[in-house]
Structures are given as C-alpha cells and as structure tokens.
C-alpha cells in the first residue's frame, strides 16, 4: 500500500448534488466545486492525487504547480484536455472513466435528432404563444433513413443499436478498427471509406475522439460531399467541426438540421456567438452525459482508480504512466 495522505487527495469540479457520491468514499479527502486552472492551481500545490472533470485546465504549466502529483484521474471518457506528455515526463499516472453510461449519451443523440427532425422546439414555442398551428412543421420519419455513425466505440455502438433495432434505420458506420461481431448483432454495415458516410447518409452522428487527425473533420470539403438536407448530430467533441464552415453552410441551407451538445469554443461562447443563434440549429450545453445513473458510475469509477492506486494495484483505466 502506498503512503498517500488523504488530505492530499482532491476531488475538484464536484457539484453540490454530487457530493454524496464522493463524501466518505476516501475518508479525509477534499471535495470542492472549484476547477483546476491557472488561477487556482496554487491552492493544490500539495496534491498527490487530483480527480477533475473536463472543466479543469490540465496543462503542463498548471500541473507543474503540483510537484508531488502522482495520479490524475479525469472523470471523463475523453482526455484531450490533459497534457499527457507532461504527465508522462513527470511520472504522473493518468486514468479516465472509459464508460460511465455510454447508453445515456447515445440516448441524447436521438433526443437531439427527434427534436431537430420533428421540430419539437418550434412546436413548443408556438403553443407557448397560444398557437396550435401545425402548418410548416412537417418532419421526417426516421424509419428507412440512412444514418452514418462515425466511430464505433461504446457510445457509437449504442447509437447503432438504437438506430437499427429501435428506429429501423439503415445504419452505416466508419471506424479504422471495425467491430464486425457487433455489426452483425446490431444489424449495421461498415464502410471502407469515410467518404461513403458523407455521400450516403441522411443523418450523420459523430462519436470519435478529438485528435489532430480528427480535428475539423467536418469542414468545407466534407460538407460539400454530403447530401443536401443532411442532418448533423455531434455529442462527441466540438473541435470535430469547423465552426466557420458549419455556419456558412447552415446559412446556405445545406443542412436539414444541426443538433449539437458540444461546440468548438465552449469556454468562450463569444467565438461561437453566430452559431448559437442560427435558425435550424439546436444546441444543448454539454449535457448528454448528465443523467442520474451515469453520474454515480462516473464517481464510483474514479474512486476505484484512486483506491487501486493507493493499494498499489493495477490501474484498469490507465491512460498513461508506468
């Protein structure tokens, strides 16, 4: 067992409603709403273990203010907000939570999709204005439509399942590492080229991590290959979409609908101001993950990683470190 002072274990980015998930799990540890960033890092200079969320700024510059840091646990699937190079060079082990409710995020995909294709928000606004007119709100049926799923990790696979077995859609998917067994079980087909997704899909949903190779995968070139009237859904990472290109083609009427749970500049909404107010675009504030059972699982998995680290056991969700 490693000698870790519980007082040097910090859970940051914890909302009031979530304190019960953490309180008492590791006795003596610290719980705060505060995020870890350039302004707050000095407060945690004695930290040996940090557990944070995507709202924290985990650059090497900020983390260097914690010279005794041994373990960093991000309570998220993605870890592009963590300076992995710095952590590796400084002997800091990094863990994530690879699945705290993939089905929850996939469900939100279809909440967004239905809201977009069936004009749910506009219809609600009309009734709020004492108008019960249906004219102009004709939607599209999902049955028989082709949905292109980019990325078939846990979330993408759930999206394939819901689309195929639930809505009876034709599902095509692109992934550099296809899961052919699940494709057979969930009745979807892989395509050899991402261009087939652009060209064949009536609806496109993104489920890939944000890497340099995937940044701005939705851009002028890819949009021009898409069908007119295509519906685009993104619950993955905002940086997958070139916002300027998206705004340009929404204005041109290229898209039948755009529904986003993530945007490129979530920490500086002024940069995405035009996108936020475009008609035919629905945006939710990064809440796809935010459901009761998923939050509990998120904290339990994070605590498990910390407990295994303290007990000098193998870290099952380790991203980097030896």
So which residues are the catalytic ones? Answer: 237, 266, 286
Question: For residue 18, which phi and psi values (nearest 5 degrees)?
Answer: -100, 0
Alpha carbon separation from 87 to 35, 46, 59, 280 (Å, rounded): 19, 16, 9, 42
- Give the number of other Cβ atoms within 10 Å of residue 154's Cβ: 16
Region at 315 (left for phi over 0; alpha for psi -120 to 50; beta for the rest): beta
Q: Cβ(129)–Cβ(135) under 8 Å?
A: no
Separation between Cα atoms, residue 70 and residue 89, nearest integer Å: 12
Separation between Cα atoms, residue 196 and residue 226, nearest integer Å: 9
Q: Cβ(277)–Cβ(250) under 8 Å?
A: no
Q: Which of 17, 56, 99, 82 is nearest to 304 (CA)?
A: 99
- String of DSSP letters for 7-49: GGEEE-S--GGGHHHHTTTSTT-EE-SPPPSTTTGGGGTT-SE
Alpha carbon separation from 307 to 102, 130, 310, 311 (Å, rounded): 24, 56, 5, 6
């Amino acid at each position: 067992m490693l000698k870790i002072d519980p007082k040097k274990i910090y859970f940051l980015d914890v909302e009031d409603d979530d304190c019960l998930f953490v309180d008492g799990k590791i006795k003596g540890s610290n719980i705060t709403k505060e995020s870890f960033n350039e302004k707050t890092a000095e407060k945690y200079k004695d930290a040996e273990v940090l557990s944070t969320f995507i709202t924290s700024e985990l650059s090497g510059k900020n983390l260097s203010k914690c010279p005794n840091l041994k373990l960093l646990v991000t309570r998220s699937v993605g870890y592009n907000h963590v300076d992995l190079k710095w952590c590796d060079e400084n002997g800091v082990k990094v863990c994530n939570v690879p699945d705290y409710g993939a089905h929850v995020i996939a469900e939100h995909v279809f909440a967004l999709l239905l809201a977009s294709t069936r004009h749910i928000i506009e219809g609600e606004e009309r009734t709020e204005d004492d108008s019960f007119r249906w004219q102009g709100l004709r939607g599209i049926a999902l049955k028989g439509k082709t949905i292109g799923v980019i990325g078939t990790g846990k979330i993408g696979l759930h999206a394939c399942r819901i689309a195929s077995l639930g809505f009876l859609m034709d599902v095509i998917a692109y992934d550099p590492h296809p899961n052919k067994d699940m494709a057979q079980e969930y009745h979807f087909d892989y395509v050899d080229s991402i261009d087939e997704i652009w060209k064949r899909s009536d609806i496109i949903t993104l489920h890939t991590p944000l890497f340099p190779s995937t940044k701005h995968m939705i851009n002028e070139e890819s949009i021009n290959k898409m069908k007119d009237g295509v519906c685009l859904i993104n619950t993955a990472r905002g940086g997958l979409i070139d916002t300027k290109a998206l705004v340009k083609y929404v204005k041109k009427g290229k898209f039948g609908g755009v529904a986003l749970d993530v945007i490129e500049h979530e920490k500086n909404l002024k940069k995405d101001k035009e996108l936020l107010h475009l008609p035919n675009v629905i945006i939710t504030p990064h809440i796809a993950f935010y459901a009761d059972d998923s939050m509990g699982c998120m904290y339990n998995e994070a605590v498990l990683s910390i407990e295994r680290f303290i007990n000098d056991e193998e870290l099952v969700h380790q991203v980097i470190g030896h």
